Structures are given as structure tokens and as C-alpha cells.
């Protein structure tokens, strides 16, 4: 995920929220490591670690709009966390963004103002 003290953003440059969060981090004087997760998706272990660090249910990390969410039937409450993670691994566009890793914690920064909790 990140070295001690390092900021990392799992970023999609096509996403306005992701661009706003990256700009806010840079405006705070921090140059984060930018992971374009659609080009370089996290490994399963990294994704599981991010979810655990955020303390959110796996389902809360699923992106619904502009993804194969509906076609894959991911709204089925019977699907296990493992099945949902399998879907995110097969289709990284399903991973909601931006995820920010910081010395203050890990957070899905939607809305973009949520990044303020992670900045010094």
C-alpha cells in the first residue's frame, strides 16, 4: 500500500472527483504517488488490505455508474465479499475512487472534501 509517511492516490484521471482530490493533496504541498488503478490495478492482497484499512464493507467500494455492475448482477445481496472482490479484480472499473493512503489513514474520498481529514 504505502511506505511510512507516504501519500498514495488510487486515481482515475477521467474522474472529476479524483482530479479534485489529487489537486487538494498537491495544494497541501504533498506530491503523492499516483496509481492509475485502471492501468495498474492493485493485487487482490492490496485491495483487501485497502478495504480493511478503510474499515468499510466490500460492497461500499463498488462503483455502480459507468461499470458492468448491473450486468454482472452485483446488487445480489447473496454475493460474498470474495465474489465481489473477484468482480473488482476482473473489472477494475468497479473499484470506486479515489482511494487515498496517508499517514493519517486510508479513505475513499467521495466526496472530494473527505480528503481534508487526511491532510496535515
Cα distance between residue 34 and residue 19, in whole Å: 11
Nearest to 37 by CA among 97, 90, 80, 105: 97
Q: Are 65 and 77 a contacting pair, CB within 8 Å?
A: no
- Cα(88)–Cα(67) distance, rounded to whole angstroms? 10
> Which residues participate in catalysis according to the annotation?
15
Length of the chain: 120
Amino acid at each position: 500500500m504505502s511506505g511510512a509517511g507516504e501519500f498514495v492516490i488510487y486515481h482515475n484521471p477521467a474522474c472529476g472527483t479524483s482530479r479534485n482530490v489529487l489537486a487538494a493533496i498537491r495544494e497541501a504541498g504533498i506530491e503523492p504517488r499516483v496509481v492509475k488503478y485502471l492501468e495498474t490495478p492493485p493485487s487482490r492482497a492490496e485491495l483487501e488490505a485497502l478495504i480493511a484499512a478503510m474499515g468499510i464493507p466490500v460492497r461500499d467500494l463498488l462503483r455502480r455508474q459507468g461499470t458492468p455492475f448491473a450486468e454482472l448482477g452485483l446488487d445480489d445481496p447473496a454475493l460474498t465479499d470474495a465474489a465481489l472482490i473477484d468482480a473488482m479484480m476482473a473489472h477494475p472499473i468497479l473499484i470506486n475512487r479515489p482511494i487515498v493512503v496517508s499517514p493519517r489513514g486510508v479513505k475513499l474520498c467521495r466526496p472530494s472534501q473527505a480528503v481534508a481529514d487526511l491532510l496535515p
